[in-house]
Chains A and B, each alone.
Chain A
Amino acid sequence: MTGRRLHPFTLLAIAGALPALAWILPAPAGGMWTAAVALLLTLTPGWRPGLVVFRTALLTAAPFWVFLRLLHDVPTTIAIGLRITTMVASFVWLAATLAPDRLVEATVARGWSVTAAYLFAATITAVPTLRDRARRIVEAQRCRGLSPRGSLGNRLRALRALALPLVLSALHDVDERALALETRGMVSGARRTPLAPPPDSAVERAARWALLAACVAALIWRFK
C-alpha cells in the first residue's frame, strides 16, 4: 500500500512514532531499526517517485553525519546520526505523501475545528505565492539599480528594500482573505460537511493505537 492511500492521520502517526521510538530505544540498535524502516517507507510512493524521496531523505540527512563527525566521537555520531536520519526520512516521506486537502477533509470529517486545518493548508498554499512575489520584487529592485552586495550596511539597506514591499503587500492581502473566509461562512463553531472524506478503516485505526501503545511501552521499558 502506498502512503498516498493511507488515511492522513495514519501518515501523521507513523511519521511521529518512528522518530519518537528512535529517541526512546537504546542506541545504536534502536536507531538502526527505526532508520531502516523510515528509509524503506520513502520507497513506498512507487519505483521512480520512491527513489526521488529516498534520495532526498539521504541528501538531507548526509550533512548531519558530516557535522556530527566534526563535533563528536564515532559512537555518538552513529547514535545521533541514526536518530536524525529516522526523523529526516520520516518527515520527507510525510511531505511526499500527505496531501493538505485530504488532511483538511479528514479533520472536518472527524468533527474537529476547521480552523486548525485551514491554518495549515492556507500556509502551505500561501508560501509558494509569496516566494514568487519575493523573487519578482528582487528582480524589480535590481532593475531599479538596487545593489545587494558591498558593505554590511549596504546589504542591510538592500534587505529592507526587498523585504518591506513583500511584507506590506502580504499584509494588504489579509483583508481580502478575511472577506473570502467570511463569505464562505468560516465562523468558529460552525459545523462543516466534508465533500470527499478519506476512508478510515478499522485496521488503520487499530494501527494508530498500536503505534501509540508501542511508544508508551518503549518509554516505560526504557525508564523502569
Chain B
Amino acid sequence: MSIRLLALIPVAAAISLALSAAVDAVALPLFLDTTGTILATTLAGPGVGIATGVVTSAVNTLRNPTFWPFVVVQIIVALYAWAAARAGLFRSFRTAVPAGLGLGVIASLTSTPISYLVFGCTTTGGIALTTALGKALGLPPLGACFFGSFLSDFGDKAVTFALVTSVLHALPRRTAARFPWALRAIGAA
C-alpha cells in the first residue's frame, strides 16, 4: 500500500466521526457514519475502504461502545461501494441515490440480526422507538427490528452516496487522478 493511501485511511475515518457536527447543525435524523468508508473505497479501492471501516468502528467504540459489533456492516458497505464505483454509479445523483437506497436495504438486513441478538434492537433511541412502532403495527420481533433499522439506514445511505458523489465531482481532476479509483467511480476513466 502506498504512503498516500495509508495516510488516507485515518483522514477518511476521522471524516466519518467529525461529520456529526454538520448533521447536528441541520438537525436531520442521519448518521453519515459510513461516509469515510464509502469515500475511501471510491478513491482507493476495497482494501483501503475496509481498513477505513474497521478503524472507524474501533475508534468510535471508545466513544460509543455499541459500535464494535457493527464492524461487519462497515465491511459490507465498503464492498458494496467498491461494486458501485466499478460500475461508475457515482457519475451523477441520478445513479448514486438509487445505489445508496440499495445499500440502505443491504445495511439494514445486515445490521438487524446484530441489533436484535446483541442489543435487543436498542442500538439508538431512534431505532428503539421505530422498532416499538413496528411492534405496535403488529410486526413480529425480528420484523419490527428490521423495520427500525430500515427506517434509519434507508435515507442515511442515500444521502451518504449523494454526499460522496458531490465530493468526487468537486475534487480537482489533478487531485482525483492521484487516487487509483476516483476517476473510474465518476465514470471519467
Q: Which residues of A contact B (CB under 8 A)?
A: 23, 60, 63-64, 67-68, 70-72, 76-77, 80, 83-84, 87-88, 90-92, 94-95, 98, 115, 118-120, 122-124, 126-127, 129-131, 133-135, 137-138, 148-149, 152, 155-156, 158-160, 162-164, 166-168, 170-175, 177-178, 181-182, 186-188
Q: Which 10 A-B pairs have the closest CB atoms?
A: A130-B18, A67-B128, A91-B65, A122-B10, A134-B21, A126-B14, A67-B122, A177-B7, A162-B22, A95-B62
Neighbour of A119 across the interface among B26, B32, B51, CB < 8 A: B51
Query: In the complex, are the beta carbons of A178 and B18 less than 8 A apart?
Result: no
Residue on A with the closest CB to B63?
A95
CB distance from B110 to the nearest CB of A (A): 19
Asked if A172 and B25 make an inter-chain contact with CB atoms under 8 angstroms apart, the answer reads no
Known contacts A130-B18, A163-B19, A178-B3; A123 and B175 CB within 8 A of each other: no
Which applies to chain A's interface (DSSP): helix, strand, loop or mixed?
helix
Does chain A have a CB within 8 A of B83?
A: no
B13 in the interface, Cβ–Cβ < 8 Å? yes
Please tell me the number of chain B residues within 8 Å of chain A, measured between CB atoms.
57
Given A177-B10, A178-B6, 10 more A-B residue pairs with CB atoms under 8 Å apart are A88-B65, A90-B65, A127-B18, A131-B17, A159-B22, A167-B15, A167-B19, A171-B11, A181-B3, A182-B3
Cα–Cα distance between A168 and B163 once the two chains are bound (Å): 11
Q: How far is the CA of A163 from the CA of B160 in the complex (A)?
A: 11
Q: Is B18's CB under 8 angstroms from A166's CB?
A: yes
How distant is B108 from chain A, measured CB to nearest CB, in Å?
Answer: 17
Contact partners of B121 in chain A: CB under 8 A: 67, 71
**CB of A34, distance to nearest CB on chain B (Å):** 14
